A = this chain, B = another copy of it.
Amino acid sequence: MGLLIVGSIGLDDIETPFDKIQNALGGSTTYISLAASYFTGPVSIVGVVGDDFPKEHIKMLEDHDIILDGLQIVDGAKTFRYGCKYHYDLNNRESLFTHLNVFENFNPIIPEKNKKDKFVILGNIAPKLQMNVLDQLDNPKFVVCDTMNFWIDGAYKDLLEVLKRVDVLIINDSEARLLSKEPNLIKSAKIISAMGPKYLIIKKGEHGALLFGEDTVFSAPAYPMENIFDPTGAGDAFAGGFTGYLHKNMDLSFNNLKRAVIYGSIMASFCVEKFSTKGLEDLSFLEIKNRFIEFRELSNFD
């Protein structure tokens, strides 16, 4: 009954108005698994890197009790690399380069002992690969899925097939509008829910997130931040915190999903406070709990 995460692992060059970093640990799986690791276990990942992938990153993930049996390390191949630059408002990211390298032929192979994992997060990879993962699993109970404009535009039919088998789809507002072809987010949510997902989460960056269930909506605020250092990985940290919290207590009621959305928002807020995965590498239970209390102050009224 573990939590399985499948997606990309890479090395990023990131430039923001404040600083820049090269060869930093990146990839959806990395952020998701780190965020989830603070809530639950066992957390296992499936991904691929080349033999240039620094051993220190392996150690750091292992130090967070993340199980790496499904991590393929391909001899003589290079790790996925991505470069991007954020401009002043930090909302728009300019891609500088994408070297797929070993990720180009990624074929996720689920280790035998993970096939019975009941919670699965499908990171932002090709819908065909997401489907491939689901086909290898033995009746998962709770499937969380991310996607992006690139797949909505380029692999729409495949994505629709995946959505039929998904419990929670987590996307941002522009992706929701693109997927539903509807500008109003409330209408958009209804259209997307009819595609299959039992729950839909629409992330709105500095405006928080919306959780849609059947005839129910929850609006989570964003944590008030004066300084966002590096937005990379925020959405993945959200997915990891959200699903990790649910896996911890196995309560899938709407009330608990609300709390999980808050824990997702908390992990995203820690993520953007530092470069790369640094904001998710050294958190205490108390820091996370205190931020939950801050979110309650921010959001609740009687």
Q: Does A18 contact B (CB under 8 A)?
A: no
Say whether, besides A88-B183, A207-B207, A300 and B298 are in contact (CB < 8 Å): no
| Contacting residue for A262 out of B255, B262, B301, CB 8 A | B301
Q: Does A52 contact B (CB under 8 A)?
A: no
Contact with B along A222-250 (1 / 0, CB 8 A): 10111100000000000000000000000
Q: Are B300 and A301 in contact (CB under 8 A)?
A: yes
Q: Choose, from A6-14, A28-36, A151-159, A213-221, the stretch at the interface.
A: A213-221
Q: Does A140 contact B (CB under 8 A)?
A: no
Shortest Cβ distance from A301 into B: residue: B258
Main secondary structure of the interface of A (DSSP, over half): mixed
Q: Are A299 and B219 in contact (CB under 8 A)?
A: yes
For residue A296, which residues in chain B have a CB less than 8 angstroms away from its CB? Answer: 301-302
Q: How many residues of A contact B (CB 8 A)?
A: 33
| Contacting residue for A89 out of B183, B204, B300, CB 8 A | B183
For residue A225, which residues in chain B have a CB less than 8 angstroms away from its CB? Answer: 184, 186
Nearest-Cβ distance from residue A266 to partner chain B, whole angstroms: 12
| Contacting residue for A217 out of B217, B258, B298, CB 8 A | B298
Say whether, besides A183-B88, A262-B301, A300-B301, A224 and B217 are in contact (CB < 8 Å): yes
In order of increasing CB-CB distance, the 6 nearest A-B pairs are A219-B221, A207-B207, A258-B301, A186-B224, A186-B226, A300-B300
Nearest-Cβ distance from residue A239 to partner chain B, whole angstroms: 19
